[in-house]
Structure 1
């Protein structure tokens, strides 16, 4: 590619001149990477879960659609998803020289708005069979279309607005060349789609990879979906793109410990990534052998303007880096501010904006891009963005930096976003916090009157589809007191019926009214008790239980809820979460063994491992303070019903002591096994949960657990094994397996790869035999743990699914009450005694189901009061 820069004027020549240097005639302007696909021959171009499409095959599909579009230039609108038909439609329009409006397929309101505003001549959609559906509204365009015009994209955050960015053929080609250059993309590279094609960042990945003859793996799967990583490994993906929110999701799935030998680099853009996160992931990359490219760009620059060389990510994590090849920066002074505005010049700068069909006739109206960002540079030539010029508001005569407000809260350990007008500020703070205190700190820190500041607690910071903060959504919080709900995920189906939905299920099982499409089951306070009820209802609605659904946002679960499932797949068996099945089976075997109906020991110890497994899944997400509150709330769900029932048992019988009531028998009670040891499991579980909660409340320990999500429980496991092999006396009789098994279950939950699961299996196989001197007990424990490791779900007869969920939910309560229920009944019938114990436990669970929620609200976690603001 030849890029000509005028030394005399410092300006780039007209786009037609640039195209001429690329050997393309201006009157039939086309983008080279779209027109020359066939030259790559039989190399793989597009890979999906179902097919591999070579460049030759892709070129044939593009050419066939190009012929259908005709030779006369027309305005084309494409509703694009991450699928083959969308890519073919995009390339066919570029190859045929047809100006293209690119729109997201999941935003029908935005599509209708732009179609009404611009009246395209042709509308392209993806068909159910993977083919392109072409709606020709007229054979000849009614618009005046400038020869340079190639693509029209919504500006960041304005999907559906009539304001579009006008990009030329030269813009697309030059920026793709630039990106491919500094990333070093080669023919053997393979990128997987993690962003919408309609978003300029996601589109730039497609452009730069096709330009170099590399491969694209098309998928809509989220990075929290285990199927995404299976696809990643199967096709030896070498890179993926991420926005700041992606890194939050990567933390949740234990990305740092994943084995991804083909990964060469990760790119990041779409907003500022916290310097600590940049440094952390740069270190992950150093250990694992891949690079992190932090990038900076805007739709108005076709995608990218700067990148930070990976070697500098650890030492300069706050910088945006250097201009991309072919581009230059300068910083213009801004009156009244210490830092100036960053201005970019390069061949990828847009032609200008369009706000009506008449603007499509315009050529280039700007030569440089005033980014609106405040920046500074150092002697080494690295640029750093320090704020947004438009992120300043003037309230009661005081100039307020909205970025500074967010930084103040970040320094306090809070994730927050701030929007404002000249009338006041609106601040959204994620999680449960003392909003009175937050407002007071901010008012004092920035010198604003308290009345000019409104602070709202939200479960998740409102975000756009691109992952960027939705500042307009924050501004409307005073009207709605909650994050606006997208119509596409409303709790009714397209016909308006009141059928079940993911949102309804979460609201019912967690007793909340503020569920938004960005929430997950865990972020809403779900734990192992409420997990059972939610998972059973979710599986019945979906026809299957998606992997990691408990950490998947509502917005990603709802589309699956609206997808019809074939009834034959749901007829006889329902895949049910393994931990649920183990809890249900365990409580039946425990009760039956104690009653004497049969003898099957060892299941209580399986439940200890399941407790560690669920602790890792539900109690180790989010920031340190919110998850500490969640851990205390979950602990209360065990302590309150246990102490209440044991108090009743103490008053009604002479089997128990005051030490039982306060759950201290295992510490201060008799060493010999008596009836006072009936509740050992509850006591030891409480000790372990308290110990883990206290340990993780220490900041450096919390940081270590996040950084080493698998190594951390393995270290605890090693500590627990010292009691298993009598190297250390825990000082608590009969409880040696507790920490060991709890930590093993925790490690199982963090085992994301085949090698991890094999390691956990080997530890169990080596450490369990010989411990109990009871082969049946040992085999039961080993089998239970191996099932937990290798089977994410177990088929359960559909007619028994609700019963399985009910027994799993009530397992703790059944364990408590059966000690009083079965003795008098077993003299009549042992089977009846077991059945009565199960029924009584379910009844006690029903009575106690609301008590833990009341306590968690009292300590500041759980459902927020609607309309509460500060």
Structure 2
């Protein structure tokens, strides 16, 4: 069954793209694969035909909120095959959807509702717009910002580019491509179009390549190819891609920005080793997607080039005044995939072709081998973080707000020169630009100059603007944002930016408590994954039900992990003093320690060395203050020996000393962390953790049961350190943090409930305390609380290690007078020692950083 292409008057059937009209021709071949289902081309054709009927026979403008789902793809193909122009917008950006809906007033809106069900909203039966017969697709020129400037693409553009890509990539029916890029992005859409054209299969997913689930799906689906932008390769490095076994991988394609030549060479060689090809490509939305590609056999030897024009296209170089020289010029592309033109208003939808050739804005040269190499950017355009920005629009924006400015692109930074003096608000200029063009603050550098640079002819000197560089000179009136400053203060880091996250800055469980409570107070809300989010993403509006206002009170919550740490340390000290008897706190803290290790250090984006480095830093914050305290009290008491001083009492003894056992928890935690860091430093374990983030700690916990139950009878023959006996609890806490499905949470809960009881024979209440705390950690992310309770719990939790360390020497001085007073004194002293220890560790960290900078400066001056 062919999908009819002549349902709509005025849209010739020959123009409607074949990849949308001839789906049924591929019969029972698999078209779409998801983690849960498969859809053949025949089934896909039927669903598309049904959607064609729903869209009706009167041509209308269809706004589609793109997503890597079967529903979104069916709607896209149905509209194309029937002749309805599609305005494709980012479905994950409500602001962009609303902005473009308001700007273009579509006749039909198709998007997923909050529950995930796809809805077709018919706003009118006939179009309110005059739609040119050739108009097929509208894509934004500015990524996901919702800019009203759109690229107008024709049916011929889509078909020609799909055919060209399928030809040079040699796509066949046997190929299976993963949707690693968004559908609304021209690169991601070109993957869909070109593979459907050849009857190949699409592996529909929105998972990142840093997600182990992605590779499980890719392998299970016999994936042969995926698309990558430069940042994708950073993620591939961190996931240990070089060691992944992908038996069906045929090629990787790269576009979306320049990949450094050394990275091209590296991955080209990797592909040669493992039997797949790397295709480096060059394109723009204005060319539908692709304009050039580098044949794989040249990637290793000519990694700096973009290659040759795609089949059906051609390049020529036009002289450019900013780049004199006979061998360079602005790269101009011609071919059947060049857009019809731009649209900035609904009336532009009636226009036909207004452009014949595409001036790319890139300065290029043609090598003796016939390859093209990009050597710079013209002053007319800047490509920043994959977004195509017109500097003249930046200058116009600033002029409308009272600034006299020049703008140019330099690498991945938009450099803005503003004429002014000491009272010029550079911060306001940057905010105007970032807000209008959707760029992060780090990508916009504003320099305030006495006057704008000019050439002797009086023309603007854009080369001088580019040479100002990416980092703007700090100004007194442009202070760091409140959250950036908060992160800098608590983590003692001078390199905090809006793109930093708690994890990327090396935060650990000791600083986590202070940071989370301060953020919760500053924001009024705290998402569960805040520690992995960039600071800029935390600036979302406060939920309506918790927003403070007249007559309302903001709800406060306390993270369960923090509450457990605070409660556990009070239980430990109180039970040692005998003011009450609720034991089990120390063992619960071991499970929480495993939970925190997984949350803060084992994030998918952190590479192996970074994980080890952060782990060692956390270990130092435990060991160094402990050694300092033990060294201080050792000459003052007969309770401890030299084995305590070096944290080896659990191993070397004497094992009959009750007082020397005081620091067993510190030693056990230290040994366990050393073992965990050592394991994770191994490449094979690091890869296993990324592929099986839940299964690995569950396996380790199972191995830990050998010593928990003493299955080999070791305790009758040798002394087994406490760390070996309790290691399974730490591993279960690690698994709890990685349990992201109900099934996994149930599994780790059952494991805890089955193995904790009986650990303390004759003390069922103690076992119950540990079990209850663990179950709470797994299933309840936060607890209702009050501001003052949060403050107290936060201080106790962040100081818990140091309270444990010091309370042995404090409470005996007071418990004869009052046990409760001894408890209070022990807690306060430990809090004080925590403050001293943290301040000292920060100073040592700052001193090391200064020495590194001085060393680097010394090397640079040689």
Give the deviation of 1:62 after TM superposition.
1.8
Matched with 2:691 is 753
The one of 845, 851, 856 equivalent to 2:839 is 851
Matched with 1:325 is 311
Give the deviation of 1:296 after TM superposition.
1.0
> How far apart are the structure 1 equivalents of 2:845 and 2:27?
63
Matched with 1:420 is 416
The answer to whether the 8 Å contact 1:761/1:786 transfers is yes
The one of 300, 311, 314 equivalent to 2:286 is 300
Q: 1:758 and 1:189, CA in 2 relative to 1: closer, same or farther beyond 3 A?
A: farther
The answer to whether the 8 Å contact 2:811/2:822 transfers is yes
Give the deviation of 1:633 after TM superposition.
6.8
- Could you report, residue by residue, the CA deviation over 1:91-119 in whole angstroms, capped at 9, with x for unpaired residues? 11101111221111233443344334333
Matched with 1:373 is 362
- Could you report, residue by residue, the CA deviation over 1:215-274 in whole angstroms, capped at 9, with x for unpaired residues? 223333333344434433443433322222223333344444444444333222111122
Matched with 2:50 is 64
Q: 1:522 and 1:303, CA in 2 relative to 1: closer, same or farther beyond 3 A?
A: same
Q: More deviation in 603-612 or 235-244? A: 603-612
The one of 523, 533, 540 equivalent to 2:504 is 523
Q: 1:417 and 1:481, CA in 2 relative to 1: closer, same or farther beyond 3 A?
A: farther
Matched with 1:359 is 348
Matched with 1:115 is 101
Q: Kindly indicate whether residue 204 of structure 2 is the aligned counterpart of residue 218 of structure 1.
A: yes
The answer to whether the 8 Å contact 2:149/2:344 transfers is yes
Matched with 1:411 is none
The answer to whether the 8 Å contact 2:503/2:532 transfers is yes
* Alignment TM-score, normalising by the size of structure 1: 0.64
Q: More deviation in 241-250 or 503-512? A: 503-512
Q: 1:401 and 1:854, CA in 2 relative to 1: closer, same or farther beyond 3 A?
A: same
Give the deviation of 1:288 after TM superposition.
4.3
The DSSP-based 3-state class of the residue aligned with 1:188 is: coil
Q: More deviation in 352-361 or 612-621? A: 612-621
The DSSP-based 3-state class of the residue aligned with 2:188 is: helix
Matched with 1:817 is 806
Matches within 5 A, 1:655-670: none
> How far apart are the structure 1 equivalents of 2:85 and 2:815?
81
> How far apart are the structure 2 equivalents of 1:838 and 1:262?
62
Matched with 1:649 is 633
Q: What stretches of structure 2 of length at least 5 have no aligned partner?
A: 383-390, 396-405, 421-425, 454-461, 546-557, 740-747, 750-773, 784-792, 851-862
The answer to whether the 8 Å contact 2:178/2:202 transfers is yes
The answer to whether the 8 Å contact 1:77/1:122 transfers is yes
Give the deviation of 1:170 after TM superposition.
1.0
- Could you report, residue by residue, the CA deviation over 1:183-212 in whole angstroms, capped at 9, with x for unpaired residues? 232323322322221111111111112222
> How far apart are the structure 1 equivalents of 2:843 and 2:723?
38
Matched with 2:679 is 744
The answer to whether the 8 Å contact 1:82/1:197 transfers is yes
The one of 448, 462, 471 equivalent to 1:455 is 471
Matched with 1:798 is 776
Give the deviation of 1:370 after TM superposition.
1.5
Q: Kindly indicate whether residue 137 of structure 2 is the aligned counterpart of residue 151 of structure 1.
A: yes
> How far apart are the structure 2 equivalents of 1:679 and 1:210?
65
Matched with 1:780 is 725
> How far apart are the structure 2 equivalents of 1:620 and 1:164?
33
- Could you report, residue by residue, the CA deviation over 1:721-758 in whole angstroms, capped at 9, with x for unpaired residues? xxxxxxxxxxxxxx9x9966641254455533359949
Q: More deviation in 629-638 or 315-324? A: 629-638
Matched with 1:464 is none
Q: Kindly indicate whether residue 38 of structure 2 is the aligned counterpart of residue 52 of structure 1.
A: yes
Matched with 1:84 is 70
Q: 1:591 and 1:641, CA in 2 relative to 1: closer, same or farther beyond 3 A?
A: farther
Matched with 1:280 is 266
> How far apart are the structure 2 equivalents of 1:629 and 1:28?
60
The answer to whether the 8 Å contact 1:319/1:385 transfers is yes
Q: 1:221 and 1:666, CA in 2 relative to 1: closer, same or farther beyond 3 A?
A: same
* Alignment TM-score, normalising by the size of structure 2: 0.65
Computed over aligned residues only, the root mean square deviation of the Cα atoms, in angstroms, reads 6.2
- Could you report, residue by residue, the CA deviation over 1:47-106 in whole angstroms, capped at 9, with x for unpaired residues? 334443332232222222222222232222222222332222211110111122111123
Give the deviation of 1:291 after TM superposition.
3.1
Q: Kindly indicate whether residue 316 of structure 2 is the aligned counterpart of residue 315 of structure 1.
A: no
Give the deviation of 1:135 after TM superposition.
2.9
Matches within 5 A, 1:831-850: 843=831, 847=835
Q: 1:604 and 1:107, CA in 2 relative to 1: closer, same or farther beyond 3 A?
A: closer
Matches within 5 A, 1:224-263: 224-263=210-249
- Could you report, residue by residue, the CA deviation over 1:810-865 in whole angstroms, capped at 9, with x for unpaired residues? 55324522442577799999x99998999578645764586368537855989xxx
Matched with 1:497 is none
The answer to whether the 8 Å contact 1:80/1:198 transfers is yes
- Could you report, residue by residue, the CA deviation over 1:693-714 in whole angstroms, capped at 9, with x for unpaired residues? xxxxxxxxxxxxxxxxxxxxxx
The one of 144, 151, 173 equivalent to 1:165 is 151
The answer to whether the 8 Å contact 1:279/1:315 transfers is yes
Q: 1:100 and 1:627, CA in 2 relative to 1: closer, same or farther beyond 3 A?
A: same
Q: 1:206 and 1:538, CA in 2 relative to 1: closer, same or farther beyond 3 A?
A: farther
The DSSP-based 3-state class of the residue aligned with 1:245 is: helix
Matched with 2:765 is none
Matched with 2:337 is 348
Matches within 5 A, 1:392-791: 402-403=409-410, 406=411, 417-421=413-417, 455=471, 518-531=499-512, 551=532, 553=534, 617=602, 621=606, 637-638=621-622, 641-642=625-626, 645-646=629-630, 649=633, 653=637, 742-747=677-682, 748=685, 750=687, 751-753=689-691, 757=696, 773-774=718-719, 780=725, 783=728, 787=732
Q: More deviation in 230-239 or 193-202? A: 230-239
The answer to whether the 8 Å contact 2:63/2:106 transfers is yes
Q: 1:199 and 1:855, CA in 2 relative to 1: closer, same or farther beyond 3 A?
A: same
> How far apart are the structure 2 equivalents of 1:371 and 1:451?
22
The answer to whether the 8 Å contact 1:586/1:603 transfers is no
Q: Kindly indicate whether residue 324 of structure 2 is the aligned counterpart of residue 337 of structure 1.
A: yes
Q: 1:369 and 1:834, CA in 2 relative to 1: closer, same or farther beyond 3 A?
A: farther
> How far apart are the structure 1 equivalents of 2:357 and 2:806?
75
Q: 1:660 and 1:454, CA in 2 relative to 1: closer, same or farther beyond 3 A?
A: farther
> How far apart are the structure 2 equivalents of 1:821 and 1:802?
33
Matched with 1:205 is 191
Q: 1:116 and 1:514, CA in 2 relative to 1: closer, same or farther beyond 3 A?
A: farther
> How far apart are the structure 1 equivalents of 2:597 and 2:315?
53
The DSSP-based 3-state class of the residue aligned with 2:801 is: helix
> How far apart are the structure 1 equivalents of 2:827 and 2:628?
18
> How far apart are the structure 1 equivalents of 2:62 and 2:782?
51
The answer to whether the 8 Å contact 1:28/1:97 transfers is no
Q: More deviation in 755-764 or 272-281? A: 755-764
> How far apart are the structure 2 equivalents of 1:33 and 1:618?
40
- Could you report, residue by residue, the CA deviation over 1:142-166 in whole angstroms, capped at 9, with x for unpaired residues? 4332221111111145843332211
Q: More deviation in 77-86 or 220-229? A: 220-229
Q: 1:51 and 1:656, CA in 2 relative to 1: closer, same or farther beyond 3 A?
A: same
Give the deviation of 1:307 after TM superposition.
1.8
